[in-house]
Amino acid sequence: MKRLEGKTALVTGGAQGIGFEGAKLFAAEGARVVIADINAEKGEAAAKEIGATFVTCDVSKSADVQAAVAACGTVDVLYNNAGIFWVGHDNRLTEISEEDWDRVIAVNLKSVFLFAKYAIPTMIKAGGGSIVNTGSSAAQIGIPDCDAYTATKGAIVQLTKSLAAEYGRYGIRTNCISPAAIMTPMMRQSNPENSSFDEERFLKLRTPLRRYGTPEEIAKIALFLASDESSYVNGAIVVADGGITINGDLSKIDSDR
């Protein structure tokens, strides 16, 4: 039997990158997958490719989130993956506008609140479920020049733990994957396409495995956490970053600061 047979999995930000590979693997493992993403063109194509349902959704908007949850009926697996690393807007705290701060908090953090708020009652009715949240290396260590992002990811790690403590009694497990350096459009935008980024130095001095990770590697962790294979795992933060956050070198800081 496939590992998600008979389950409905809601994947946010599944149009591309890590979310897409997660959705693809969930579908291959028998889940009925619903992708919720703001990018309708890519989302429709992604859903078609893997036999999923697509719902256009800005994850920061309550009405959109409620419609995505309604499209599922019961949500057995909630994969809170959507997020933005907003190059040119997010920054050192004193350089971020209040509007940009609010937007990053809404997309990355309020979304987790909204999806959990509306999906958990369906899980309780069904007798259980699995929530997989998405942190980042920015939740484990201080990373310069993305303070709004960092604040959201740290909060998601803590929210994971409180949800795990509160809803475990209903058979709902909540866990979090904290990736870094996974080769996706976001990663390319935030690192290799950034002119101040020294890729050779990053891989050599920051990344013990000396390579980028792949979205497929994260998808396998998401599948484990989504499925009954992880039936006694609740409140875990699975760090999947090739060892970046156990390494103390600060090569990403500009040399003039």
Interface ranges with ligand NAD (CB under 6 A):
13, 15-19, 37-39, 57-60, 81-85, 107, 134, 136, 179-182, 184-187
State which residue, 110 or 168, has the beta carbon closest to ligand NAD. Answer: 110
Which two three-digit tokens encode residue 129?
């479920």
Assign residue 32 a region (left: φ > 0; alpha: ψ between -120 and 50; beta: otherwise). Answer: beta
User: At its nearest, how many Å lie between ligand NAD and the CB of residue 94?
Assistant: 23
Shortest CB 183 distance to ligand NAD, Å: 7
Q: Shortest Cβ distance from residue 231 to ligand NAD (Å)?
A: 24
- Considering the complex, what minimum distance in angstroms separates the CB of residue 41 from ligand NAD? 10
Check if the beta carbon of residue 67 is closer than 8 Å to that of residue 5: no
Helices (H), the chain: 17-28, 40-50, 62-72, 98-104, 111-126, 147-167, 185-190, 199-201, 215-226
Q: Which residues are catalytic?
A: 149
Q: Rounded to the nearest 5 degrees, what angle is found at the Cα of 200, between the Cα atoms of 194 and 206?
A: 90
Residue 17, C-beta contacts closer than 8 angstroms, at least 6 positions apart: 182, 184, 185, 186, 215
Nearer to ligand NAD, 127 or 209 (CB): 209
For ligand NAD, the closer of residues 17 and 129 by Cβ is: 17
Q: Which residues pair with 175 in a beta bridge?
A: 132
